Amino acid sequence: MPDERSVPDERAVPDASTVPDELLARARAAHTAAPPLGDPAYDRYCAALAGQLLAHWPQITAANATDVEEAGRAGMPPTLVDRIRLTDAHRDGMVALAERTRRELATVTDVEVPVSGAARAVHRVPRPLGLVMMVYEARPTVTVDGALLPVAVGNAVLLRGGKETAATNAALQRALHDALTDAGLPPGLVTVLDDPHRRLLRALLKRPDQVDVLIPRGSPALVDYCRTSAIPLIASGGGANHLYVHHSADLGLAARVTLDSKLPEPAGCTSVETVLVDRAVAAPYVEALAQELKEADATLTVRTEPGTTIPVSPGLRAEPLAPHDLGREFLGPVVALVAVDGVAEALEHVRAHGSGHTEGVLADDADVVEAFRRRVDAAMVVVNGSLRLHDGPTLGLGSEIAIATGRLHVRGPVTLASLVTYGYVTDAAGALRG
Amino acid sequence: MPPNLSLDRAAVATVVKKTVVAESRLSIAPESVSEDEPLVGDLLHVNSLGFVGMLVRIEDELDAALPDNLFVGRSFRTVGDLIDVVTTAEATR
């Protein structure tokens, strides 16, 4: 007798290929029917989204409670259950993001390109990327991120979240569709995929002809899997980030920067993992670190090479450095400490072990700063400051949907301006080439 | 119903090690990871949040489909535990 367990594998379903076709056709039709980028409908959408999230909140939280309950029943550990749970703080964050995005819409606009050729005037005009697919795990706030930023600049989106949040995402989709309808936009611009068997994900990743851009947000394994698709990808490769402390640096500042770059979000992608310190100032730098930890009543584990002197101090724990610690993300309040002989060795270490995400230098020597600025190839180089400054809103670059470390189209904060491509318009006023 | 697929333990071990190394954001040779290695320890950082992505990647590399609930409600301590669960799963192709 057929039961749920006997549902055949995805690749054995006879009509597996037709489902993505219908879904893609619907999303593309919505994209075609949508007004051009910059239309007042997108401003209305951001406002309506904030309102509909509030109006739907009782239903969203009720749906979320069933997801949380189901996760608990399925034996998922508390860390995962916490990631699924939506609170009023998440609601406020999502509403604030909608309001901020609305204010930032004006930044995505035509730019006149100075020319001196046959054309009288050339404008660089932002165009939507097209159909954007987001693939993410657990956290349901990403559903709103994905329905908000890309759609506000005229893209259609497919949102493939984890099946653990299926009920929450379905409730969110109702709020999102009501917001689109309020704004006069086609509801098909946002499609929340119901894909418990990963069948759609596999099929859609094979459709570079229809899906224009892929934005994975999740574990390294998920991002790596998405990389196997031929669809262009906007993704963060994770942050194996360094801070280089030159002997000219203010060591008190260096200690404060180290702690601010690690402790508030120890598993964040902009957190520092390895401190490279000039050998001559290694001991006073560690003293400064111990002092700051004591004042902050905080704890940090420092993994060091043999022979490094670590003062006995509350909050400062020493462990031996293992070879595999270089270039890793500790995902906790731990840093590796490596002594170097000057900026050249520091640059070489960053080249060998960095992931091109966020790299920092602490120095008063202008030549050292200049060398770091020019020679470190990362999405962000921070001079004399916290690595955690690498954040769109914090820097004033705008709201971000991810931090990209790819080579093309966008690096660093993926803001509204990065969720579009562009075309040119020339007002030729009758000019011929001849 | 498609026939069950018998997975080769050595092939599963190779794929699982590669996946846990990537998941832990390490740049070491996967074959250097021993089966006794804890999934959450000094070397590896594999938590349950990564299991969905790992499952898709393992399936893809093995060209096999694994049950959705494979990782749910089970506890794994070491790399070997994970290899055993995948090897003995009711895989289909």
Confidence of residue A2 (pLDDT cuts 50, 70, 90): very low
Taking residues B14-43, report their average pLDDT. 88
> Phi-psi region for residue A266, left (φ > 0), alpha (ψ -120 to 50) or beta?
alpha
Q: What's the farthest any 2 CA atoms get from each other in chain A? A: 81
Taking residues A97-121, report their average pLDDT. 90
pLDDT for res A141: 93
In a domain, B16, yes or no: yes
In a domain, B2, yes or no: no
- Domain containing B32: what range? 9-88
In 3D space, the residue among B83, B85, B92 whose CA is nearest the CA of residue B11 turns out to be B83
Pairs of CB atoms within 8 A across A/B: 100
Q: Chain A residues with CB inside 8 Å of B42's CB? A: 322
Q: Give chain B's count of helices (H) and strands (E).
A: 3, 2
Greater confidence, A29 or A314?
A29
In 3D space, the residue among A425, A428, A421, A424 whose CA is nearest the CA of residue A37 turns out to be A421
Q: Cα separations (Å) of A310 from A159, A273, A295, A307?
A: 49, 18, 17, 9
At which residue do the structure tokens 């489909």 appear?
B65
pLDDT one-digit tens code per residue, B31-82: 999 999 998 888 888 866 667 678 888 888 888 888 877 776 677 789 998 8
A4 vs B: CB within 8 A:
no
Q: Whole-angstrom Cα distance, residue A415 to residue B68?
A: 34
- Yes or no: say if A60 and A86 are a contact pair by the CB < 8 Å rule: yes
Contacts of B9 (CB under 8 A, 6+ apart): B83, B87
In a domain, B13, yes or no: yes
The CATH number for B78's domain is: 1.10.1200.10
pLDDT one-digit tens code per residue, A384-420: 999 999 999 999 999 999 999 999 999 999 999 999 9
Domain count, chain B: 1
Contact flag A80-B1 (C-beta cutoff 8 Å): no
Domains detected in chain A: 4-237+405-426 (3.40.605.10), 241-395 (3.40.309.10)
Name the CA radius of gyration of chain A, rounded: 25
Paired residues of A233 in beta bridges? A214
Contact flag B49-A225 (C-beta cutoff 8 Å): no
Q: Whole-angstrom Cα distance, residue A120 to residue A426?
A: 8
In a domain, B25, yes or no: yes
At which residue do the structure tokens 């593309």 appear?
A28
Q: Whole-angstrom Cα distance, residue A205 to residue B72?
A: 25
B93 vs A: CB within 8 A:
yes
Q: How many other β-carbons are positioned within 10 Å of the β-carbon of residue A69?
A: 12
pLDDT for res A318: 94
pLDDT for res A194: 84
The tokens describing A418, both together, are 């990065």
